[in-house]
Each structure stands twice: as C-alpha cells, then as structure tokens.
C-alpha cells in the first residue's frame, strides 16, 4: 500500500462565470521513503494538487488516500486533526511563528499534537542539529537568513514523525547555493526517516534530489521521469 495515493482527483475553480479545471483526473502515488518533485509552469495545477494532497481542498471528483484513509470522509475539523498528525508542511513564505524561537517553532508541532515530552524535545534538538542550527536554537525567525528559516520549517515538518511531508516551493526565496542545501537536507531526511515526500518546485535544478519527477500541465501529468539519468538530465537542462 502506498503511503499516499491520489485517485483520479479533479478540481474545478469557478470565479464569476469562468471555470478553470486546475487538476484534471490526476492519479499519483508516493511510497514511504520516496521523494517526488512536482513541476510545471505557473497555473499547471501544482499548488492545487498539493492542497488536495494535504486535505486543504477536497476534490470535486476522485479521492486522496493517505495511509489507507480517504480524506473525503473527514470533515473540516477531522482534516485539521489529520494534518496535525500525518502531514509535515513547509511553505514558500510565512513558515514560522515570528514570536517563537527556532526551538519553540519546531516544538510547536509537538505541542499542538500533545507530544511535547522529553523525547520530543530531544528529537527537536537533534533535528535542528542535523540541519546545522544548533547555535540558533534561541534565535527568533527575524534573526535568521531565509535558508535558515527554511531549515527550521523542515525540522518542524518532520519533528512529529508524519507519514507525509509536503513542501511548497521551499527554495523560491533562496539563492542557488542555499536552495541546493535546503533541498538536499529535505531529501536526505525524507529518505532517512522513511517519509513520503512531495515537493512542488518551479526550479528544475532542485529535482536532482528527487526520486521521481512528475511534470504537470493544465492539471494533467504530462511527463514522469524515474531513472537517475533522466532526472539528472532534466535537472541540468530543465
């Protein structure tokens, strides 16, 4: 059983009299320990797909199944509780709570889950150390660089041991060097911890760290790259 499955999911946006089919009968599955890059041009449906996978949106048709459970059957509160336990999230911006320190931001996920105990604290510190932030534990987000903030977000996304990690353009605001650093760490931790990871990115160079590349256009999968050679070539040439 896959950790995450999208089964022919579709999402239609309606604004005034205009209808846009953002995701069109898309099917995708991700195994535990697999890191998938979702790429595509603007408006291709990447972010909408991520929202569907996270249960932030419900599909008009099809279903998303995580760990054998269909998100369609959960209400709003149930989806929030499900996200809290099963999903780790990093966003393009506004990732961190500005008045919490690095350590507190990571521990917040444990606190919200009711799992802030000695073990949880130790795991938070260990993750932050692995991410090279051991000297920044008591700093506020405003005292960190963009790359450091993204690394804190990665720690927060993993600290509660979710089955799925979703990353929305995690390198969008970073320079090339820091973007590579952040994506490499994210991929490494997803592999090491056996999570199912999906990263939405518009930067082909970051796909080098993925196990599979899924290219979307107009809400449909237009290309899937799975071999190291294909991935490496795509990362170089885009």
- Cβ closer to other proteins: 8 or 81? 81
30 CB neighbour count, 10 Å cutoff: 24
- Cβ closer to other proteins: 10 or 31? 10
Contact residues toward other proteins (CB under 8 A) are 47-48, 50-51, 54, 56-57, 77, 80-85, 87, 89, 91-95, 97-100, 104, 109, 111-113, 140, 156, 168
- Cβ closer to other proteins: 31 or 193? 193
Smallest separation, CB 115 to other proteins (Å): 12
- Cβ closer to other proteins: 88 or 231? 88
Task: Give dist(CA 90, CA 203) in Å, integer.
Answer: 16
Long-range contacts of 68-71 (CB under 8 A, 24+ apart): 68/1
Smallest separation, CB 181 to other proteins (Å): 23
Starting from the edge strand earliest in sequence, which strands make up the sheet with 69-70, in order? 18-30, 4-15, 61-66, 69-70
CA distances in angstroms from 115 to 89, 124, 174, 211, listed in the order given? 18, 12, 32, 31
Smallest separation, CB 121 to other proteins (Å): 14
């Amino acid at each position: 059983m896959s950790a995450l499955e999208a089964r022919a999911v579709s999402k239609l946006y309606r604004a005034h009299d205009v209808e846009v089919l953002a995701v069109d009968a898309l099917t995708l599955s991700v195994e535990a320990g697999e890191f998938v890059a979702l790429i595509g041009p603007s408006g291709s449906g990447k972010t909408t797909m991520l929202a569907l996978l996270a249960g932030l949106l419900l599909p008009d048709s099809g279903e998303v199944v995580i760990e054998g459970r269909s998100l369609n059957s959960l209400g709003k509160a149930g989806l929030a509780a499900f996200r809290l336990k099963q999903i780790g999230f990093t966003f393009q911006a506004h990732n961190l709570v500005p008045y919490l320190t690095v350590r507190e931001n990571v521990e917040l996920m444990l606190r919200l889950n009711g799992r802030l105990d000695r073990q949880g604290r130790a795991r938070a510190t260990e993750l932050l150390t692995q991410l090279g932030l051991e000297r920044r534990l008591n700093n506020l987000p405003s005292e960190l660089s963009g790359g450091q903030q993204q690394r804190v977000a990665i720690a927060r996304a993993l600290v509660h041991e979710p089955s799925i990690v979703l990353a929305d353009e995690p390198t969008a605001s970073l320079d090339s060097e820091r973007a590579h650093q952040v994506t490499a760490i994210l991929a490494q931790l997803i592999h090491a911890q056996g999570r199912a990871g999906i990263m939405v990115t518009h930067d082909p160079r970051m796909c080098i760290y993925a196990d599979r590349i899924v290219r979307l256009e107009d809400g449909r999968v237009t290309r899937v790259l799975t071999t190291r050679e294909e991935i490496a070539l795509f990362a170089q040439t885009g």
